[in-house]
């Protein structure tokens, strides 16, 4: 029987906040210092496109406490229009966050640019990027399929916009906000289902609740003052370690300094309501974000997880793969709806999860906006091949199940975990008692 115990102090810094801190630093006047920046491939892609667009920045390793080294990024910028015409297409690699959010900034720059990615990113839908930017006056061109490359002829004369998000998307909300910072007047972004709010928090934007909707107010052409940022541990990465502790009986793990923003940590409430042994300790606020420690203690089992509320789905969109696999292997039942957004991630995550769980013998069913899996204890006869679909969250979800339960799984393209969690396997080994 495998047991996992220990203290986790080397969880990856939050991807979402790292992306935004770098982009906001590039838009700010002065020197921005970002402490505990993510070293994952996606966040390095954001730094790469900023440098290729003329932004001066450097990275250095510093003492982060707990006997570890962390990364500090220093960005020098003159403000909203400090970018230079790139000499070649800007490579975003596999990072949809980089491509979508940086498009909002490029739309306001008085030059032409092009955003490209790897083979996976070039297949992902980008019409939701182009539509609001075109309404603001930028010339945006996509492929015939509505995907990258994104070719932008920017303009310093962007018009303010009142934009209602067609689907909950923090990336689209952020790209509109970044563009609107340059517009000649006040813009308003309206969301009926609230998505993660890091951009609003970090920029200090006003938000108004009106008739059941949330309105984010973005003042145009107002200088953004440089300030320091601290990046807490990524709750989406913490979800994998939480699942490890819950699947392996007798385990006890404490995860330090995790971002507990309510728009990011709802998976903890879902698991607690389902009977998981979770305790939050040492809560405090740093830079407007709630941070705390998560104590995981193995529990007898989970109650069925049926997630139907669109608001809850928006809050846990990145954690759904791990929650589904956890529920399956913990003998629970997982049912999800209102999650069509999962089909436009690094893979079609609905299909990827169902295909792989069916290979393991689970009873699954998929719907246009979700899926169902009936969990049970299983002991496959021989090694089962799991297809990662080149998706880091699919790969890690099944790797956790294999590690915690001893179920022999051969996961394809497993190195893709480096996109968000470079020290994933080393951390798992360190926790095995």
Could you give the residue numbers annotated as active site? 318
Longest CA–CA separation in the chain, Å: 65
Q: Residue 324: which residues within 8 A CB-CB, separation 6 or more?
A: 334, 336, 353, 357, 371, 373, 397
The C-alpha atoms of residue 178 and residue 198 are separated, in whole angstroms, by 13
The C-alpha atoms of residue 240 and residue 400 are separated, in whole angstroms, by 7
Q: Residue 401: which residues within 8 A CB-CB, separation 6 or more?
A: 243, 247, 325, 326, 328, 329, 407, 409
The C-alpha atoms of residue 121 and residue 108 are separated, in whole angstroms, by 23
5-8 β-sheet, strand order: 5-8, 252-259, 289-297, 277-286
Instruction: Confirm if 82 and 110 have CB atoms less than 8 A apart.
Output: no
Q: Where are the alpha helices (DSSP H) in 316-348?
A: 320-329
Length of the chain counted residue by residue: 433
Q: What is the DSSP letter of 341?
A: G
| Cis ω before 149 (30° cut-off from 0) | yes
| 6 bridge partner residues | 253
The C-alpha atoms of residue 427 and residue 122 are separated, in whole angstroms, by 32
Instruction: Confirm if 362 and 328 have CB atoms less than 8 A apart.
Output: yes
Nearest to 305 by CA among 374, 397, 398: 374
Nearest to 27 by CA among 203, 204, 216: 203
């Amino acid at each position: 029987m495998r047991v996992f115990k220990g203290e986790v102090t080397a969880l990856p810094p939050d991807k979402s906040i790292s992306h935004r801190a770098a982009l906001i630093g590039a838009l700010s006047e002065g020197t921005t210092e970002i402490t505990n920046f993510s070293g994952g491939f996606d966040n390095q892609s954001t730094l790469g496109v900023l440098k290729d667009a003329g932004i001066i920045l450097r990275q250095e390793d510093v003492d982060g406490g707990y006997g570890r080294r962390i990364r500090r990024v220093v960005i020098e910028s003159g403000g909203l229009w400090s970018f230079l015409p790139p000499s070649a297409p800007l490579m975003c690699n596999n990072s949809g966050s980089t491509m979508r959010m940086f498009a909002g900034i490029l739309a306001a720059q008085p030059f032409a640019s092009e955003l490209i990615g790897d083979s996976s990113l070039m297949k992902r839908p980008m019409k939701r990027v182009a539509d609001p930017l075109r309404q603001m006056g930028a010339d945006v061109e996509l492929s015939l399929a509505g995907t990258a490359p994104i070719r932008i002829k920017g303009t310093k004369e962007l018009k303010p916009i009142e934009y209602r998000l067609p689907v909950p998307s923090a990336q689209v909300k952020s790209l509109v906000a970044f563009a609107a910072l340059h517009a000649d007047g006040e813009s308003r972004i309206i969301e009926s289902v609230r998505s993660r709010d890091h951009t609003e928090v970090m920029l200090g934007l006003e938000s108004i609740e009106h008739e059941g909707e949330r309105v984010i107010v973005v003042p145009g052409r107002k200088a953004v003052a440089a300030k320091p940022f601290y990046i807490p541990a990524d709750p989406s990465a913490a979800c994998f370690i939480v699942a490890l502790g819950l699947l392996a009986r007798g385990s006890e793990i404490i995860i330090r300094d995790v971002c507990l923003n309510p728009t990011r940590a709802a998976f903890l409430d879902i698991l607690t309501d389902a009977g998981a042994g979770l305790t939050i300790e040492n809560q405090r606020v740093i830079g407007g974000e709630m941070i705390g420690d998560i104590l995981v203690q193995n529990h007898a089992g989970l109650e069925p997880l049926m997630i139907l509320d669109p608001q809850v789905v928006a809050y846990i969109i990145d954690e759904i793969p791990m929650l589904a696999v956890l529920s399956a292997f913990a003998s629970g039942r997982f049912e999800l709806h209102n999650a069509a957004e999962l089909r436009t991630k690094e893979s079609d995550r609905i299909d990827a999860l169902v295909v792989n769980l069916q290979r393991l013998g689970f009873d699954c069913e998929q719907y246009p906006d979700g899926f169902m899996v009936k969990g049970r204890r299983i002991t496959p006869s021989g090694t089962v091949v799991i297809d990662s679909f080149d998706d880091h969250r699919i790969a890690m979800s099944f790797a956790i199940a294999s590690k915690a339960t001893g179920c022999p799984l051969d996961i394809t393209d497993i190195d893709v975990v480096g996109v968000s969690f470079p020290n994933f396997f080393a951390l798992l080994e360190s926790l095995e008692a």
